Amino acid sequence: MKTVAITTLGCKTNQTDSAVMEESLKQGEFRLTDFSDQADVYIINTCTVTHKSDFQSRQLIRRAKRQNPDAKVIVAGCYAQVSPDEVARIEGVDYVIGNTGKIDIVAILGADVGAGLAPAQTGHPQGMPLQTKIITTDILKEREVKGFKVSTFTGHTRAFLKIQEGCHAFCSYCIVPYARGGSRSVSQTDVMDGLKRLVDEGYKEVVLTGIHLGYYGEDLSPATDLLSLAKTIDKEFPKLRVRISSLEPTEITDEFIEFLSTSSAVCNHLHIPLQSGDDKILKAMNRGYTSSFFASVIEKVLSKVADVGIGVDVIVGFPGEGEGEFLNTYNLLKRLPVSYLHVFPYSKRKGTPAALFLKHVHPDTIKKRCVLLREMSEEKKREFMGRFVGEEVSALVEGKKDTGSGLIKATTRNSLQLQVACDTWMRNQEIKVVVADREGRAVKS
Ligand code: SF4
């Protein structure tokens, strides 16, 4: 049996793609092993959202080849999809597989003929080592979601379920549409089947993932939307913890907020990309809303949904972001009682409109601004946790030991990250705990 090791960079959708590949490889008579082990085949499922993720992808490719020079090295995912020639030129790469090719991983490996001719349909570029096979499609032409059926998530307590793929919003800084194509959805029937499969496997929480969840259902016939899907899930799986991985501010309607305030399955936790708190920058980003609109959505959610946890994405250092523009972002986030921030340094991506914009911000300035916002995020986390000190809450035990406290990690529905004194065998159990302090320590009640 050939041994295969997979490593994954990037978002939950990419991690779900790896879980789908793992499952088909297991069915295909391959034995999965850890990426740090000697393996016959290494698969690097890459990300290309920043130049750092490209760099990390290249590092993993070289590490695989060092670990076993005779191994087959397969590079899949967004970096492979967007820059196939660049990836194929990396020493030791045997296959470059785009995002739609992952579903065929067993067939590709099974059909591996070693140092043969490049498959005709790829139109192999000149000067490329003959053994390097590039298998990509024109992702912008894709009309269906390939590869979403999964029943196990190795090493994860919470399962991910891909319900949507791609995005056609074309925010000016974002490479994702060129890597994942336009939006397409998994049918409601398949989503419900997917949930049933994961519930039957014993998962207590499922995170609904996609690239742009708010577009869910638009392409289906008849068309539907995320709210209708959520309502159906609420009826059929009222006891399941269902988390929505991310939702654009423009897609958080009054009706959706109303539903969230009474839902039994869907967690009272929203992760909402802001990206900038300056209206001029938001316009240049092609985000389609203003800072005051964003603030009004947050205020509405906070006023309607009890104990809701709100996480916010923000990009620092977009071209043209001067001190004034950054302060607008800083002050807006300071004012809004959100629970945590995910702070991303702007990364110039070739092929995106913003890459051609003038006034790029100096990397040192970007670093300083990221530090300020990450400090703010830590303070917001403590403030949010502080509201629950002394309170009894339900938390899902994730089984991993927290490196600092040595306690066990557990997560509440509203995204409090707790550390609990309990046994690892309690993994995947939802238990009652009392929050002890603003750092998130909690005791079983
Ligand atoms: S919504 Fe914008 S930032 Fe998000 S994936 Fe689509 S283009 Fe990228």
Bond before 222 cis per omega within 30 degrees? yes
What would the DSSP string read from start to end of 22-56?
HHHHHHTTEEEE-TTS--SEEEEEE--SSHHHHHH
User: What is the residue whose two structure tokens read 């290494």?
Assistant: 42
At 123 the pLDDT is: 46
User: What is the residue whose two structure tokens read 């403030």?
Assistant: 383
- What stretches in the chain show pLDDT beneath 70? 111-132
What are the pLDDT digits (tens) for 299-314?
Answer: 999 999 999 999 999 9
Q: Ligand 1 mean position to 173 CA, how many Å?
A: 9
Q: Ligand 1 mean position to 365 CA, how many Å?
A: 24
Pocket lined around ligand 1, Cβ cut-off 6 Å:
167, 169-171, 174, 176-177, 211-212
Instruction: Take atom 2 of ligand 1 and give the residue whose Cα is closest.
Output: 171
Give the integer Cα–Cα distance in Å for 383 and 416. Answer: 11
Q: Ligand 1 mean position to 213 CA, how many Å?
A: 11
Write the DSSP symbol of residue 183.
-
Question: At a CB cut-off of 8 Å and minimum separation 6, what does 237 contact?
Answer: 195, 199, 265
Pair of tokens at residue 90: 């990396």
pTM of structure? 0.92
Residue boundaries of the structural domains of the chain: 3-137, 392-444
At the top level of CATH, the class of 3-137 is alpha beta
What are the pLDDT digits (tens) for 1-33?
Answer: 789 999 999 999 999 999 999 999 988 889 999
Tell me which CATH code domain 392-444 carries. 2.40.50
Q: Ligand 1 mean position to 269 CA, how many Å?
A: 20
Q: Sign of the C-alpha dihedral, residues 326, 332, 334, 340? A: negative
Pair of tokens at residue 25: 């490889």
To test ligand 1's pocket by mutation, which of 176, 180, 275 has the most ligand atoms within 8 angstroms of CB? 176
Pair of tokens at residue 175: 């490479």
| Closest C-alpha to 378, from 348, 330, 339 | 339
Q: Which helix (H) or strand (E) holds 126?
A: none
Q: Ligand 1 mean position to 273 CA, how many Å?
A: 9
